[in-house]
Amino acid sequence: MADHAYPPPQAVAESLLAFWAEAGIDSMYLDEAVDRIAAGAVPIPRPAQAARPATAPSRPASVPDARAPAPPEALAQARALAAAAKTLEELAAAIEAFEGCPLKFEGAATKAVFSRGAPSAPVMVVGEGPGAEEDARGQPFVGRAGRLLDKMVAAAGLQERVFITNTVFWRPPGNRTPTPAEQAVCAPFVERAIELVQPRLLLLLGGASAKSMLQKDEGILALRGRWFEWRSADGGLELPAMPTLHPAFLLRQPAAKKKAWSDLVSLVQRLDRPDRPH
């Protein structure tokens, strides 16, 4: 049996170098070989730990504590103003006069962003909070996300059948997600809007809206497409609520539009079936 002929070491090295060159390696990491096994036996020196301050640094004023509850005085004022409003116009004026939500003084426009849509709509859409365009124009969902929402609503045949609002009425700095405390202090106004509009169904856009309205901890991908019961603070009012993906999310993830459309179809079917919920 003939012996196998092996290429000379120089040819093997040249072939290996050519392979590395094709892979994009055009320089050596080091000029000389390093024994990594021997180097691993030497303990790596640890950097000296910086001395910890005696007290933790204070939280910047512009970054609210998401765990902090809404101040009782502000919440009581919101409930009183909301209860006194007999019309949507009076409710809008009450929100404008309310000074218990810190978002009003953190860079938002002077005018609150309350609502748009049919005042007696069978569907109330509740988003998270206004963005830059909404802040400038004083209406919710008028930017890119709002235009997508309008297209979805029109495609579902709900053009004149929705009333649109948010969980907070002033733009959070940097378009951040509103905190639970900020949503809680605005909740009496949202609840009063539901009482005045008297919708049959709620459509909750995005995780912040769904969690606040339903008092849930799950993310929007777990909540969307399912029916829940929204209850007023006193338990006297209940409505079916459908969480779905926020249009801003759909602009970033177009492939998710199919899921949002499925949610809208489910809502329309429930709204128009003979045994409509009351």
Asked if residue 11 is part of any domain, the answer here is no
Asked if residue 4 belongs to a domain, the reply is no
Q: Which residues contact 8 (CB under 8 A, 6 or more apart)?
A: none
Domain annotation covers residue 190: yes
Residue 2 lies in a domain: no
Enter the pTM of the model. 0.75
Question: Backbone dihedral region of 95: left (phi > 0), alpha (psi from -120 to 50 degrees) or beta?
Answer: alpha
Residue 252 is predicted with a pLDDT of 96
Q: Tell me whether residue 185 is in a domain.
A: yes
pLDDT of residue 85: 98
In a domain, 251, yes or no: yes
Question: What pLDDT score does 37 carry?
Answer: 60
CATH value at residue 85: 3.40.470.10
Segments in the chain below pLDDT 50: 19-27, 29-31, 53, 55-62, 276-278
User: Which pLDDT does position 268 carry in this prediction?
Assistant: 97
Residue 57: the pLDDT is 42
Q: What is the reported pLDDT for 70?
A: 73
Encoded tokens for 154: 């029109």
Is residue 249 in some structural domain?
yes
Q: Please work out, in degrees rounded to the nearest 5, the angle formed at the alpha carbon of residue 251 by the alpha carbons of 247 and 252.
A: 120
pLDDT given at position 58: 43
Q: How many CB atoms lie within 10 A of CB 152?
A: 18
Split into its structural domains, the chain has a count of 1
Q: What is the pLDDT of residue 110?
A: 67
H helix runs in the chain, sequence order = 9-22, 36-40, 72-84, 88-97, 132-137, 144-155, 180-197, 207-214, 220-223, 247-252, 257-272
Is 81 a member of any domain?
A: yes
| Whether the Cβ atoms of residue 213 and residue 167 lie closer than 8 Å to each other | yes
Q: What is the pLDDT of residue 173?
A: 93
